[in-house]
Amino acid sequence: MEQSRTWIVGNHELIFEPPDTLRAIIRGWITYEDGVKWVAIMRDVTTPGPVSVYCVVQMTPMPEFPYPRLSQEARQYLAKQSSSDWFKAIVYVGGGILQKITAKGLTVAMLLSGRKRFDVEFVDSQEKALQWIEEHRKAPRR
């Protein structure tokens, strides 16, 4: 995919930023229907496009809903239908300990789903996420 594009999925927003970054702004509960749409978007973004992307997942607190939550159905669908081949890295921004544990578990499932491995990082700000990606781009590949 060569141009910027934005999708609204439920309360969430996904933004592709060329050449190879997909930002996901998570606001509240993540449903099974959200997961189905996200998988379709990931397939669209990575085929034939850059083949793999940096994914920045911003877990945005909401006053009445302190941290994003992933329904069991969404977690199972994402784990089964996602592919590690889609990612250069995933950088999670924010979130509490429960969200980090959930994100790590989902990431492990994705790592088992494809042929390729990717890096995972947890940071506390969008600026740190972008800085980490720039450093990752410069690092020699293993």
Q: Mind listing the pLDDT tens digit for each residue in 70-106?
A: 888 998 898 889 888 899 999 999 987 877 888 888 8
Q: What is the rounded CA–CA span in Å between residue 95 and residue 67?
A: 6
For residue 50, what is the DSSP state?
S
Cβ atoms within 10 Å, residue 140? 4
The reported pLDDT for the residue numbered 68 is: 67
Residue 112 has pLDDT above 80, yes or no: no
Distances in whole angstroms, Cα of residue 114 to Cα of each of 111, 117, 119: 6, 8, 14
Q: What is the rounded CA–CA span in Å between residue 47 and residue 139?
A: 25
pLDDT in tens, 2-18: 789 999 999 999 999 99
| Residue owning tokens 């590949």 | 141
